[in-house]
Amino acid sequence: MEKVLIFTFLSFLTACSSPRGVSIQSYPEKATVFVETASGDTKSLGETPLQIKDADIFDRNSGMSQLQISKDGFETQKVFLAKNNDRDSFEVSVKLKQQGVDLKSEKTKDRQEQLAKSLARISNLMNKKKYEDAERLLSQMTSDFPHVSVAWDFLGNISYLRHDYKSAQNFYRRSLAINPENSETRQMIEKLEGML
């Protein structure tokens, strides 16, 4: 997916080594810079970091230019430039985004996978009546994922099975505070109120 950047990454500098020039930087470096010509074709200007003359990029009639900055494995960035006759030079700086990688999404997927595996393991331990082992994992889970209501429900279930009804009720209340729509948790709290 291409992103269009309009003057966003332009930092106009008052001093530059060559008159009427454009300095183009990218992260990562070694990205190929293309300019769209007046006829609609594109021509390569070289790789970043790149120092070019105004005459190489600006359309004589409009004073406008469109650059494309590309690198394998990264999304192409487009930058629109307008010639500024008051400046001798300016700089374009672009940070390229990796293709197909949404780091936030990947991190979320990893955490969801970790959570699902932990819940399955805890459920297995509870079925085998290994409550102490399950509680140890649940303690870590409620620390890592405090807003996951099912972890508090599991702690409530273990306390209930051990006949520690006061603790069970407290765990169920924590769960219900996170997920007020859970009718089963609400029923357990009501049941425990009648038992205490």
pLDDT score at 38: 63
Looking at the structure, tell me whether residues 91 and 108 fall in a common domain: no
Tell me how far apart the alpha carbons of residues 123 and 106 are, in angstroms, rounded to a whole number. 26
pLDDT score at 12: 34
Looking at the structure, tell me whether residues 129 and 77 fall in a common domain: no
pLDDT score at 20: 65
Looking at the structure, tell me whether residues 50 and 81 fall in a common domain: yes
Which stretches of the chain drop beneath a pLDDT of 70?
1-20, 37-39, 59-63, 82-88, 90, 100-106
Give the end of a domain, one of 95, 120, 154. Answer: 95
CATH classification of the domain holding 91: 2.60.40
Tell me how far apart the alpha carbons of residues 171 and 158 are, in angstroms, rounded to a whole number. 10
Looking at the structure, tell me whether residues 114 and 88 fall in a common domain: no
Looking at the structure, tell me whether residues 123 and 185 fall in a common domain: yes
pLDDT score at 164: 94
Encode pLDDT of 61-115 as tens digits. Answer: 666 778 889 998 888 888 877 666 665 676 888 888 887 655 566 677 788 888 8
Looking at the structure, tell me whether residues 54 and 121 fall in a common domain: no
Looking at the structure, tell me whether residues 21 and 76 fall in a common domain: yes
Give the end of a domain, one of 95, 117, 151. Answer: 95
pLDDT score at 102: 56
CATH classification of the domain holding 127: 1.25.40.10
Looking at the structure, tell me whether residues 25 and 69 fall in a common domain: yes
Tell me how far apart the alpha carbons of residues 30 and 46 are, in angstroms, rounded to a whole number. 9
Give the end of a domain, one of 95, 114, 137. Answer: 95
Residues 6+ apart with CB under 8 A from 192: 160, 165, 168, 169, 172
Buried b (16+ CB within 10 A) or exposed e, 33-48: bbbbeeeeeeeebeeb
**Per-residue CA distances from 43 to 50, 95, 136 (Å):** 15, 21, 63
Range of 11's domain? Answer: 3-95
Q: With beta carbons less than 8 A apart as the criterion, state whether 53 and 20 touch.
A: yes
pLDDT score at 183: 92
Looking at the structure, tell me whether residues 46 and 21 fall in a common domain: yes
Total domains in the fold of the chain: 2
Looking at the structure, tell me whether residues 89 and 140 fall in a common domain: no
pTM of the model: 0.47
Looking at the structure, tell me whether residues 159 and 124 fall in a common domain: yes
Per cent of the chain over pLDDT 70 is 78
Looking at the structure, tell me whether residues 159 and 78 fall in a common domain: no
SS3 for 76? coil
